[in-house]
């Protein structure tokens, strides 16, 4: 599927992106793997691990539609993993959360269509199913934008999909490390709400 293809990963220096890149390098013969991330230090650190011919590193933010469109030139597949996903940070900085998670999604859609990308897979969260916080609400809006984009592409070949997943062990923002810390501190009842 990915052999001979160019793949761009937004938020590619995050926990998902790093593992996904490793999987791509181990299982496929990709033409290019483009890491699109606003974190210069994480990109540098990732380059130390994955310094192969097919790897490319773009400093950029999904909020910047011009840079995103430039980065997607010649790309076959996009994995959209960039998000402001820390629930407390989203609640405290609602405008920033909306800019990244909603406007960023719009920018990914527009750049993908403009560049004739074949497929875009947007990563989402179980928190979008019945949102009770801003993060979940913005991801629900993002999900709906990606699904609706399939109706607006017209004659373009670009197709969009969304996948939702829950807490992932080892990822930033997962509840698992939080619960582990509480257990190590001797807490007998975990703060779980329904």
CATH class of 6-184: alpha beta
pLDDT at 175: 59
Dihedral sign (CA 164, 3, 13, 179): positive
Cβ atoms of residues 135 and 85 within 8 Å: yes
Instruction: For the chain, give the DSSP string.
Output: --TT-EEEEETTTSHHHHHHHHHHHHH---SEEEEEES-HHHHHHHHHH---TTEEEEE--TT-HHHHHHHTTT-SEEEE------HHHHHH-HHHHHIIIIIHHHHHHHHHHHHT-SEEEEEEEGGGTS--SHHHHHHHHHHHHHHHHHHH-TT---EEEEEEE---TTSTT-HHHHHHHHHHTT-SS-----
Residue numbers of the chain with a pLDDT score lower than 50: 169, 194
Q: Is 12 exposed, middle or buried (0-12, 13-18, 19+ CB in 10 A)?
A: buried
Please state the pTM of the whole predicted model: 0.85
For the chain, the domains span 6-184
Q: What is the pLDDT of residue 76?
A: 98
| Beta pairing partners, 58 | 36
| Per-residue pLDDT tens over the stretch 32-63 | 999 999 999 999 999 999 999 999 999 999 99
Q: What is the pLDDT of residues 125-136, one digit of tens each?
A: 989 999 999 999
Catalytic residue among 85, 127, 157, 188: 127
Residue 127 among the catalytic residues: yes
Q: Which two tokens stand for residue 1?
A: 């599927």
pLDDT at 135: 95
At 194 the pLDDT is 44
């Amino acid at each position: 599927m990915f052999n001979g293809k160019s793949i761009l990963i937004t938020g590619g220096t995050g926990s998902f992106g790093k593992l996904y890149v490793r999987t791509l390098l181990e299982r496929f013969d990709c033409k290019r793997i483009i890491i699109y991330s606003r974190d210069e230090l994480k990109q540098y650190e990732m380059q130390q691990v994955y310094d192969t011919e097919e790897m490319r590193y773009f400093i950029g933010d999904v909020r910047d539609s011009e840079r995103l469109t430039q980065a997607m030139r010649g790309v076959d597949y996009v994995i959209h993993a960039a998000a402001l996903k820390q629930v407390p940070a989203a609640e405290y900085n609602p405008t920033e959360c909306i800019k990244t998670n909603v406007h960023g999604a719009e920018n990914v859609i527009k750049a993908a269509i403009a560049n004739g990308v074949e497929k875009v897979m947007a990563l989402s969260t179980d928190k979008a199913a019945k949102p009770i916080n801003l993060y979940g609400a913005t991801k629900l809006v993002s999900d709906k934008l990606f699904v609706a984009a399939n109706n607006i592409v017209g004659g373009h070949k670009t197709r969009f999909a969304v996948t939702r997943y829950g807490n992932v062990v080892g990822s930033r923002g997962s509840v698992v490390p939080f619960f582990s810390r509480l257990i190590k501190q001797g807490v007998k009842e975990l703060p779980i709400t329904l």
